[in-house]
């Protein structure tokens, strides 16, 4: 459901010496790190008898050891040991598993959701600062990941969904007959959207980077928020907020928890929507829906379309 993309999965700080079971785009994976701090993501399924490798342990040499019969796999997925069987290295290599490429960026572990052609991720420069500059919060939403991208691209939900918090002022009588001015610039990996009401001097800039990154640029905000909509499966996602504070901004003079809590309104809205975003020819649309329509067109072509091609190829062969 999310083929061949780089996506963060968890903050580095939450991954210790024990292997962790994660679900990413419907696949069960084990995530672990070796003594040198190298991360590895393998299918959470031993190729011997199907035991979950995440219930095993990481050995002193940095391999993951299956909890059932002790087969060991290194961070590349190569089988390095089968107890009680003196196998040649050629034989061992035939018992290996695939590994998914991993990286550490912006204080998070990223995984590439494919096993081939994992070129380096193209990321906004605001995600290339040292890891310890980022303040990270994540939570699980019972929603399809596309819903979280859709709401994050959408300026005009603020006066309604966030009526009782920061969106309240846009719902004021002063803006009752306001007209929204939304302009879009295409970029190599998504779009930049500028949003403004004709009754207000300033607005909001929203950047979308394929597949699942939103960067918000709010006038006067002392930090730069990044939102990630990470697919867990078809009805669950992880909403990760990654804040890059301006110099001089920290826990002592900014309430990060209040900032993170503002997305509760969004969670309630997207959890009430059924399944993935609909295609552009379903439902009614108006001119201010253009950012959402561009995302949907891309999703149906580049993600769903690619998936359908794979399924067609598989059934033809």
Instruction: Report in angstroms how near the CB of residue 88 gets to ligand FES at its nearest.
Output: 18
Tokens read off for 260 = 């993170």
The number of angstroms, rounded, from the C-alpha of 216 to the middle of its chain's C-alpha atoms is 16
Whole-angstrom distance, CA of residue 153 vs CA of residue 150: 5
Cβ 198 vs Cβ 223: under 8 Å: no
Whole-angstrom distance, CA of residue 27 vs CA of residue 310: 16
E strands present in 68-189: 72-73, 79-81, 102-105, 108-112, 135-141, 180-187
Instruction: Report in angstroms how near the CB of residue 287 gets to Fe ion at its nearest.
Output: 20
Instruction: Report in angstroms how near the CB of residue 266 gets to Fe ion at its nearest.
Output: 4
Say which entry of Fe ion, ligand FES, none residue 135 contacts (CB below 5 to 8 A, set by partner kind).
none
Instruction: Report in angstroms how near the CB of residue 40 gets to ligand FES at its nearest.
Output: 16
Residues 50-89 that bind ligand FES (CB under 6 A): 51, 66, 68-69, 71
Q: Which residue lies nearer to Fe ion by CB, 75 or 263?
A: 263
Q: Which residue lies nearer to ligand FES by CB, 51 or 156?
A: 51
Instruction: Report in angstroms how near the CB of residue 160 gets to Fe ion at its nearest.
Output: 10
Torsion angle in degrees (nearest 10) through CA of 240, 17, 32, 90:
170
**Binding Fe ion by CB under 5 A: which of 207, 266, 276, 289?**
266
Number of residues that bind ligand FES (CB under 6 A): 8
Residues 16-55 that bind ligand FES (CB under 6 A): 46, 48-49, 51
Q: Which residue lies nearer to Fe ion by CB, 92 or 149?
A: 149
E strands present in the chain: 6-11, 20-24, 27-33, 39-43, 57-58, 64-65, 72-73, 79-81, 102-105, 108-112, 135-141, 180-187, 190-197, 204-209, 213-218, 223-233, 236-245
Cβ 43 vs Cβ 63: under 8 Å: no
Q: Which residue lies nearer to ligand FES by CB, 69 or 205?
A: 69
Residue in 4, 33, 30, 49 with CA at minimum distance from that of residue 309 = 4
Q: Which residue lies nearer to ligand FES by CB, 66 or 303?
A: 66
From 234-242, 261-269, 278-286, 299-307, span contacting Fe ion (CB under 5 A): 261-269
Say which entry of ligand FES, Fe ion, none residue 280 contacts (CB below 5 to 8 A, set by partner kind).
none
Cα separation values, 222 from 165, 243, 250, 259, 281, Å: 18, 10, 10, 11, 39
From 46-54, 56-64, 112-120, 265-273, span contacting Fe ion (CB under 5 A): 265-273
Instruction: Report in angstroms how near the CB of residue 112 gets to ligand FES at its nearest.
Output: 25
Which residues bind to Fe ion, rule: CB under 5 A? 266
Residue ranges in contact with ligand FES by CB under 6 A: 46, 48-49, 51, 66, 68-69, 71
């Amino acid at each position: 459901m999310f083929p061949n993309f780089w996506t963060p999965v968890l903050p580095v700080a939450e991954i210790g010496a024990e292997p962790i079971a994660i679900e990413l785009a419907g696949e069960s994976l084990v995530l672990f790190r070796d003594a040198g701090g190298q991360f590895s993501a393998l299918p959470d399924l031993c190729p011997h008898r199907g035991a979950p490798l995440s219930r095993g342990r990481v050995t002193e040499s940095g391999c993951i050891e299956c909890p059932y019969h002790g087969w060991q796999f290194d961070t590349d997925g190569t089988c390095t040991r089968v107890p009680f069987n003196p196998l040649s290295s050629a034989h061992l290599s035939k018992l290996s598993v695939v590994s998914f490429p991993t990286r550490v960026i912006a204080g998070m572990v990223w995984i590439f959701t494919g096993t081939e052609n994992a070129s380096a991720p193209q990321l906004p420069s605001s995600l290339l600062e040292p890891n310890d500059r980022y303040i990270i919060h994540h939570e699980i939403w019972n929603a399809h990941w596309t819903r979280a991208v859709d709401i994050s691209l959408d300026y005009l939900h603020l006066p309604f969904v966030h009526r009782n918090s920061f969106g309240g002022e846009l719902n004021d009588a002063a803006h009752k007959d306001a007209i929204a001015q939304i302009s879009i610039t295409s970029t190599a990996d998504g779009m930049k959207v500028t949003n403004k009401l004709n009754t207000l001097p300033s607005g909001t800039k929203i950047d979308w980077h394929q597949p699942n990154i939103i960067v918000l640029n709010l006038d006067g905000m002392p930090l730069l928020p990044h939102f990630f909509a990470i697919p867990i499966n078809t009805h669950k996602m992880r909403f990760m907020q990654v804040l890059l504070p301006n110099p001089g901004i920290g826990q002592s003079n900014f309430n990060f928890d209040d900032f993170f809590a503002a997305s509760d309104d969004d969670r309630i809205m997207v959890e009430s929507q059924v399944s993935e975003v609909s295609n552009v020819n379903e439902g009614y649309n108006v001119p201010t829906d253009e950012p959402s329509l561009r995302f949907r067109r891309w999703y149906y072509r580049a993600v769903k379309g690619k998936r359908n091609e794979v399924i067609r190829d598989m059934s033809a062969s």
